[in-house]
Chains A and B, each alone.
Chain A
Amino acid sequence: EAGVAQSPRYKIIEKRQSVAFWCNPISGHATLYWYQQILGQGPKLLIQFQNNGVVDDSQLPKDRFSAERLKGVDSTLKIQPAKLEDSAVYLCASRKRTSLGETQYFGPGTRLLVL
Chain B
Amino acid sequence: KNQVEQSPQSLIILEGKNCTLQCNYTVSPFSNLRWYKQDTGRGPVSLTIMTFSENTKSNGRYTATLDADTKQSSLHITASQLSDSASYICVVTSLILTGGGNKLTFGTGTQLKVEL
Contact = CB atoms under 8 A, between A and B. Distances in A.
A and B: real partners? Answer: yes
Contacts of A61: none
Contact of A106 (B31, B41, B45, B49): B45
A79 B51 CA distance: 37
Interface size bracket, B side: 20 to 34
A107 B43 CA distance: 5
B1 interface: no
B101 A109 contact: no
Given A42-B91, A101-B49, A103-B46, 13 more contacts: A42-B89, A43-B106, A56-B101, A91-B43, A91-B44, A93-B43, A98-B101, A100-B32, A106-B44, A108-B43, A109-B41, A109-B42, A111-B41
Interface of A: 4, 40-45, 55-56, 91, 93, 98, 100-101, 103-109, 111
